[in-house]
Chains A and B, each alone.
Chain A
Amino acid sequence: MSQLPKRIIKESQRLISDPVPGITAVPHEDNLRYFQVTIQGPKESPYQDGLFKLELYLPDDYPMVAPKVRFLTKIYHPNIDRLGRICLDVLKKNWSPALQIRTILLSIQALLSAPNPDDPLSNEVAEHWKRDEQDAIATAKEYTKLYATEQ
Chain B
Amino acid sequence: MGNVPTREEASAGRRASSFSYEHRAMGHRPSHPFSPPSMDGASLRKKMKGKDKDRKEKRRLKEEHAYNLIVRHTENVDGGFLAPYGTYRSNLDYDTNIVRNLIIDRRIAPFYTPLQDFEDDWSDEKLLEILRSLPLHAPLTEDSLALEPEDEDDHRLHSSNGSFRRKDNQKFKQTMAKKTAEWQQEAQRLQDRDRHIAKRSLGAVGNNIALDIPSDDLLLLLYRRASECPICFLYYPQFFNISRCCIQPICTECFVQIKRLDPHPPHDEEGNEQLDTNGEPETLISEPARCPFCASIDFGITYVPPPFRTGINAIPPSEFRSAITTIEELDENAIEDDAPDSSTTTIITESKSKARAKKSYSIDPTVLLDQGRHRRNSLPPNSPSVITTDTIRADWVGKLASAKSKLARRSATASAIHATSLITEEEHISNSQRRALRAARQNDEIHELEERMIEEALRLSLMENRDEVQRRRASAPESRT
- Residue numbers of A with Cβ under 8 A of B are 1-3, 5-7, 10-11, 60-61, 63-64, 89, 92-94, 96-98
Contacts and interface: CB of A to CB of B under 8 A. Distances in A.
16 contacts: A3-B138, A5-B87, A5-B232, A6-B116, A10-B233, A60-B89, A61-B88, A63-B231, A64-B257, A64-B258, A89-B269, A92-B269, A92-B271, A94-B295, A96-B293, A97-B292
A60 B87 CA distance: 12
B300 to A, nearest CB: 15
Contact of A97 (B90, B139, B143, B231): B231
Contacts of A10: 233
Contact of B295 (A60, A64, A92, A96): A96
Given A7-B232, A60-B147, A97-B257, 4 more contacts: A6-B233, A93-B268, A96-B295, A97-B254
Report whether over half of chain A's contact residues are helix, strand or loop; otherwise say mixed. Answer: loop
A64 B143 contact: no
B130 to A, nearest CB: 15
B138 to A, nearest CB: 8
Contacts of B269: 89, 92-93
B475 interface: no
A64 B230 contact: no
Contacts of A64: 88, 91, 257-258
Contacts of A11: 233
B205 to A, nearest CB: 39
A1 B144 contact: yes
B231 to A, nearest CB: 5
Interface in B218-235: 230-234
B94 to A, nearest CB: 13
A50 to B, nearest CB: 28
B270 interface: yes
B290 interface: yes
Bin chain B's interface residue count: 20 to 34
A31 to B, nearest CB: 14
Nearest to A96: B292
A93 B295 CA distance: 11
Nearest to B268: A93
Nearest to B257: A64
B236 to A, nearest CB: 12
B123 interface: no
Contacts of A96: 290-293, 295
B261 interface: yes
B141 interface: yes
Contact of A1 (B89, B231, B233, B293): B89
Given A60-B90, A97-B292, A2 B141 contact: yes
Nearest to B90: A61
A6 B229 CA distance: 11
Given A2-B143, A10-B233, A93-B270, A98 B293 contact: yes
Contacts of B147: 1, 60
Contacts of A1: 89, 141, 143-144, 147
Closest 9 CB pairs of A and B: A98-B292, A7-B233, A96-B292, A93-B271, A10-B233, A97-B231, A97-B292, A2-B141, A98-B293
A110 B132 CA distance: 47
Contacts of B143: 1-2
